Amino acid sequence: MQLAWVKILQLIYSLQIAGLLLNRATRILWRSVGRYFTFNMKILLVEDEASLASFIQKGMAAEGYELRVAYDGTMGQRLFDQQPFDVVVLDVNLPGLNGFELCRYIKQHSPHQAVLLLTALDGL
């Protein structure tokens, strides 16, 4: 379970590099533990906005992460079934399966899978 949190922290740090998250507390925490973890993570990004997916992909590639991108929930489900990922990043509003449905599917098939939900919604 602790390794999953480290993976999530690495993902959050990469998103900060991409300019998406600017949480000072996370950066401070990363500085204290991040230098001890230098493995390549496999990340599945499910995002229907191509420009945002490309932006995230460039930031992740610059940090050395292996990133697969799906542009709808159904494609994300297929990619998830094809290979294991360290972290899955889901948009909530997706065509096909929405992010909540895909998260439910992932957790049913892999209960310990780290999943991060992203949304532009102001309330859930």
Domain of residue 65, CATH code: 3.40.50.2300
Q: Which has more confidence, 83 or 7?
A: 83
Average confidence score pLDDT of the chain: 79
- Residue 123 domain flag: no
Give the domain range for residue 19: 2-118
DSSP string, 17-60: HTTS---HHHHHHHHHHGGG---PPEEEEE-S-HHHHHHHHHHH
- Residue 43 domain flag: yes
Looking at the structure of the chain, the number of domains it has is: 1
Identify the pLDDT of residue 105. Answer: 97
- Residue 11 domain flag: yes
Q: Which has more confidence, 8 or 118?
A: 118
Identify the pLDDT of residue 72. Answer: 95
Smallest CA-to-CA distance from 80 within 55, 50, 101, 59 is with 101
pTM: 0.68
Question: How far apart (Å, rounded) are the C-alpha atoms in residues 120 and 69?
Answer: 19
- Residue 97 domain flag: yes
